[in-house]
Amino acid sequence: MSFALDGVGLTHANGFTALSDITLRANKGERIALIGPSGAGKTSLLSVLGTALAPTAGVAEILDFGQNLRLTAGLKALRPRIGTIHQAPPIPGRQRVVTAVLAGKLGQWPAWKSLASLLYPLDVAGARATLERLDLADKLFARCDQLSGGQLQRVGIARVLYQQAELILADEPVSALDPALALATARQLAADAEARGATLVASLHAVDLALNCFPRIVGIKAGRIAFDLPAGEVSEALLHDLYASEGQTLPTLANEPRFTTLAAANDPATRAACC
């Protein structure tokens, strides 16, 4: 088991309830997409899984770790095993790409190595190999404030790939990328998780991308789980119901021909090509 949430609720200090009664389990190696309208609670759910926020109700067990205990020593051991891709890449502009990627291992490296790496990057080869998979190897020594938004987002992904986490949490990981690159990057992320047997949970705005790259789809609406189904069983009616507040059209990557119909998107051949 990778994580198990049992009746988890999250109420912020200001009284706003972001999550209520979430029960969700994932086995090691599963790939789950979270979809739902904005404000539904996708980011909150990822924050609970990433130990950034402690649930205010229920029990959360993450990587066999009872999170509600909040033991600092335990968290210290747990956190290097969780990699989070943030929607806005949390990388200082003046940092170089190589340093930003290597920072993924700060929780695993001994302190001397992390300190020395500030003076001379100690694993240039590893950082470059990771960046190569995201088509960014040429930016290895560039400064992050020289990158475009899409490139920076991929640096954030590269950091988590380099971290080799057992549980990868991704919050809108490809929102700043154009459709073709978004698809390729989501595939890369899924392929990495599959190859290492890591669990991947990603919140995605584009429904077609979610259906294409993730075997399991969890729909979230108003802080609750609306449905939790294999991608093949997600019907158009369910989706329209989920996004009822956002109008008639479903959010998709773009109006590219192969993504226009959900039927085609659900086609096993397409999915095989994707993941």
Partner 1 sequence: MLLNPAPPRDPAARGRLSGALLALVILWPLFRAAEFKPGALFDSSNLKVIGHFLAGFLPPERGAEFLAYLGKATLETLAIATAGLALACVIAVPLGYLATAAGREQPTLNPLTRSLLTVLRGIPELVWALLFVRIFGLGPAAGVLALGLTYGGMLAKVYAEILESVDPAPAHALRRSGAGRLLAILYGLLPQASKELASYTVYRWECAIRASVVMGFVGAGGLGQLMDQAMKMLNGGEAASILLTFMLLVFAADGVSGWLRRALDTPPAARASPFGWRSISFLLVLPSAVIASFHWLEIDFGELFTAGAAHSIGEFVAGFFPPDLSSDWLARVGLGIWETLAISVVGTLLAAVAGLLLALPKWRAPFSFLLNTLRSVPELVWATITALAVGLGPFAGALALALHTTGVLGRLYAEALDNAPAAPGHALRLAGAPAGLSFLYGTLPGAAPQLIAYTLYRWEMNIRMAAILGFVGAGGLGQLLYFELSLFHHAQASTVIIAMLILSIAVDQTSAWLRQRLR
Give the dihedral sign, CA 238/243/245/248.
negative
Neighbours of 112 (CB within 10 A): 8
Distant-in-sequence, close-in-space partners of 30: CB < 8 Å, separation ≥ 6: 2, 199, 200, 215, 216
Q: Please classify residue 242 by burial: count the beta carbons closer than 10 Å to its beta carbon, then call 0-12 exposed, 13-18 middle and 19+ buried.
A: buried
Judged by CB under 8 A, the chain residues 153 through 172 that form the site for partner 1 are: 160, 163, 165
Neighbours of 272 (CB within 10 A): 8
Judged by CB under 8 A, the chain residues 111 through 140 that form the site for partner 1 are: 111, 114-115, 118-121, 124-125, 128-129, 132, 140
Give the dihedral sign, CA 75/80/81/84.
positive
Is the CB of residue 232 less than 8 Å from the CB of residue 200?
no
- Does 84 participate in binding partner 1 (rule CB under 8 A)? yes
Least distance CB 80 / partner 1 (angstroms): 3
| Sole binder of partner 1 in the list 32, 33, 35, 86 (CB under 8 A) | 86
Judged by CB under 8 A, the chain residues 59 through 78 that form the site for partner 1 are: 76-78
Least distance CB 77 / partner 1 (angstroms): 8
Least distance CB 189 / partner 1 (angstroms): 16
Interface residue list for partner 1 (CB under 8 A): 50-52, 76-84, 86, 88, 90-96, 98-99, 103-104, 106-108, 111, 114-115, 118-121, 124-125, 128-129, 132, 140-141, 160, 163, 165
